[in-house]
Structure 1
Amino acid sequence: MARDTPVQNDAAKTDTEQLPNLVTIVGRGVPSSFEITVDGELEMVADDPVAEGTVVSGSVAEGSIDVGVQRFRFAGQVTNVQVVDWNGNAVPESASVPDVHVDYGVPKR
């Protein structure tokens, strides 16, 4: 099984140890959108980030998901998370929005 590799935001390589935290977005089978903002660096972890259709710019990631998992490594703290279903409904109006898990201090595998 192939390992996920971090996608760099800029030309400078950022060591994963400098990005000790992890955000995981889990799709629930309904097309949904998400936006994540952190107060430090943010990188998407993916085998093929282009296929994921997610944009990472500085400390913000924005994209869509219906099934599967998308992961992001980051430094600092999560400052904002927004998730909505295909109708634009958020929790608690929609039980279909993706699950979001934030884990601090996750070692690189």
Structure 2
Amino acid sequence: MARDDPVRSQTETTTDDELPNLVTIVGRGVPSTFEIAVDGEIEMLVDDPLREATVVSKHVAEGTIDVGVQQFRFSGRMANVTLVDWNGVSAPDSPSTPTVHVDYDVPDR
């Protein structure tokens, strides 16, 4: 999985106009890995992405999820999503992989 730049800080001056789109990963109770690639920039919506075991570079976010939700804001378009369950079976062949929701032009809540 690709890594090019360090995690962007939430304290940097990033506006929703710069990262208007939202991708949400929802865990299904089974340990899984994910990789999200965009043709713009991506940023995780938490204070400390490393604590969430998520690596975020300029164009790619990758990590693990079991339960819960992880969200990312991004610019541009979704380029690729890869989901793999704990057995190494990828979506859509595994019903245990997380679900992914992509929304474009989502205002800040």
TM range (shorter): 0.7 to 0.9
**Are 2:90 and 1:64 aligned?**
no
Gaps (5+ residues) in structure 2?
1-6
Quote the offset at 1:16 in angstroms: 2.4
Give, in angstroms, the shift of residue 9 of structure 1: 5.2
Judging changes above 3 Å, is the alpha-carbon distance between structure 1 residues 46 and 12 closer, same or farther for their aligned structure 2 residues?
Answer: closer
Per-residue CA deviations over 1:51-93 (Å, capped at 9, x if unaligned) read 2110001110000000000000000000000001011101232
What is the correspondence of 1:1-109 to structure 2 with a 5 Å cutoff? 8=8, 12-109=12-109
- Give the TM-score of the pair, scaled to structure 2: 0.86
TM-score normalised to structure 1 length? 0.86
Aligned-residue Cα RMSD (Å) equals 1.9
Q: Kindly tell me the number of residue pairs found equivalent between the two proteins.
A: 103
Higher helix share: 1
Percentage of pairs with the same residue: 64
CA distance in 2 between counterparts of 1:101 and 1:33 reads 16
